[in-house]
């Protein structure tokens, strides 16, 4: 009797079968979404679900939320699409209005559509309160509700102003959210960030509010790489009893952006925030600083600098010599006339 499993033909057939099995397995691994239940693409739904995505959520967490809400047919279908599409890393936190019963690819596309984020308020680093409030009104918060909320927010002890306490981030609020709840969440976030930066645990002579004021000044006056040096300049000038003479404080009073030039007349404006006329720190923050500025306010770079000037975009120089500063000022004015600062905010 012939033993087939020892014959060359049997071994060839077996090898071909195994090769086909391995090839088929690799096909399913490489093709995103294959093997996972998914709704057909191109079938728009009249119903929607609100998907809340928190900052830092993983693809698997988002996939679970989509599946639980009935957006996708399986969490695995979205997860496989997300793994195969780098754009999934750009899904913003917030409340997203997403169609029900759609394919995983369309779910990702809708999550990336910022127009589907409800109650979106985006606070940029250095934004003024006066620039933030219109976003609340655009997100359907009433002016009366917002005004009432601003007067009743819970602030940390020793803080007298809301300016500086609305932490820069992207926020999204469901329809009907009270303005006080929305604003308080921003203040609470700011408090957490200030604690992490060391604002409340600093051993310096400055109060937490004064450190927040310093953070707002460095946020307004320089780029991230300059923050800690500007923080030291502030300390040095205060120690010597020199006025800070920061253009940003006058811009804050005038509510003017878009120009690096400040006229002599502008420096004469009467305001407690005008650091050309008033010695010491301004009475409150001049914007809402981000995490880097908060850290720089607590951790200045050691140095004896008293002056700094941005002679060209991304070229900020520091010195303790007034003559050197005046030479750089001439260079700055030359670059200003040449249009090198055109478009700089």
Residues 121/139, Cβ–Cβ less than 8 Å? yes
- Do residues 291 and 169 lie in contact, with contact meaning Cβ atoms separated by under 8 Å? no
Yes or no: say if 163 and 287 are a contact pair by the CB < 8 Å rule: yes
Residue 158 is predicted with a pLDDT of 94
Show the CA angle centred on residue 197, arms to residues 192 and 199, nearest 5°: 85
Query: Which single residue is written with the structure tokens 């918060």?
Result: 141
Encode the chain (345 residues) as per-residue pLDDT tens digits. 444 455 665 565 555 555 555 444 444 444 444 579 999 998 878 899 999 898 789 999 999 999 999 999 999 999 999 999 999 999 988 889 999 999 999 999 999 998 898 888 999 999 999 999 999 999 889 999 999 999 999 999 999 999 999 999 988 887 788 999 999 999 999 999 999 999 999 999 999 999 999 999 999 999 999 999 999 999 999 999 999 999 999 999 999 886 666 788 888 899 999 999 999 999 999 999 999 999 999 999 999 999 999 999 889 999 999 999 999 999 999 998 888 887 554
Closest by CA position to 107, among listed 132, 139, 70:
70
pTM for the structure as a whole: 0.76
- Residue intervals of the chain classified under CATH 3.30.1490.480 are 48-116
Correct CATH for 48-116 of 3.30.1490.480, 3.40.50.720, 3.40.30.10, 3.30.360.10: 3.30.1490.480
pLDDT at residue number 172: 84
3-class secondary structure per residue, the chain? CCCHHHCHHHHHHHHHHHHHHHHHHHHHHHCCCCCCCCCCCCCCCCCEEEEEECCCCCHHHHHHHHHHCCCCCCHHHHHHHHHHCHHHHHCCCEEEEEECCCCHHHHHHHHCCHHHECCEEECCCCECHHHHHHHHHHCCCCHHHHHHHHCCCCCCCCCCCCCCCCCCCEEECCCCCCHHHHHHHHHHHHHHHHHHHCCCCCCCCCCHHHHHHHHHHHHHHCCHHHHHHHHHHHHHHHHCCCCCCCHHHHHHHHCCCCCCCCCCCHHHCCCCCCCCCCCCCCCCCCCECCHHHHHHHHCCCCCCCCEEEEEECCEEEEECCHHHHHHHHHHHHHHHHCCCCCCCC
In the block, residue with structure tokens 């200045």 = 300
């Amino acid at each position: 009797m012939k033993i087939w499993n020892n014959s060359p033909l049997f071994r060839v057939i077996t090898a071909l079968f195994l090769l086909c099995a391995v090839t088929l397995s690799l096909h399913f691994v490489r093709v995103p979404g294959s093997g996972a239940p998914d709704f057909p693409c191109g079938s728009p739904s009249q119903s929607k679900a609100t998907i809340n995505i928190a900052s830092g959520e993983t693809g698997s967490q988002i996939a679970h939320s989509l599946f639980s809400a009935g957006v996708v047919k399986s969490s695995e279908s979205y997860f496989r699409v997300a793994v195969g599409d780098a754009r999934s890393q750009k899904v913003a936190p917030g409340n997203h209005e997403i169609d029900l019963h759609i394919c995983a690819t369309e779910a990702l596309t809708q999550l990336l559509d910022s127009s589907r984020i409800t109650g979106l308020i985006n606070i940029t680093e250095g934004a003024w309160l006066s620039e933030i409030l219109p976003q609340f009104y655009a997100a359907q918060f009433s002016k009366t509700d917002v005004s009432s909320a601003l007067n009743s927010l819970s602030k940390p002890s020793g803080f007298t102003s809301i300016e500086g306490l609305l932490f820069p981030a992207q926020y999204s609020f469901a329809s009907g959210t009270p303005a006080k709840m929305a604003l308080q969440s921003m203040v609470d976030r700011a408090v957490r960030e200030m604690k992490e930066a060391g604002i409340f645990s600093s051993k310096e002579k400055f109060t937490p509010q004064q450190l927040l004021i310093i953070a707002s000044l460095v946020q307004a006056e320089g780029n991230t790489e300059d923050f800690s040096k500007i923080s030291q300049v502030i300390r040095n000038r205060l120690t010597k009893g020199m006025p800070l003479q920061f253009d940003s404080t006058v811009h804050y009073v005038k509510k003017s952006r878009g120009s690096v030039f400040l006229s002599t007349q502008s420096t004469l404006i009467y305001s407690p925030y005008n650091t050309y006329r008033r010695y010491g720190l301004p009475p409150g923050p001049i914007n809402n600083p981000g995490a880097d500025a908060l850290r720089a306010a607590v951790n200045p770079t050691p140095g004896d600098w008293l002056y700094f000037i941005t002679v060209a975009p991304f070229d900020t120089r520091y010195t303790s010599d007034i003559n050197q500063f005046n030479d750089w000022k001439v260079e700055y004015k030359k670059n200003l006339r040449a249009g090198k600062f055109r478009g700089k905010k």
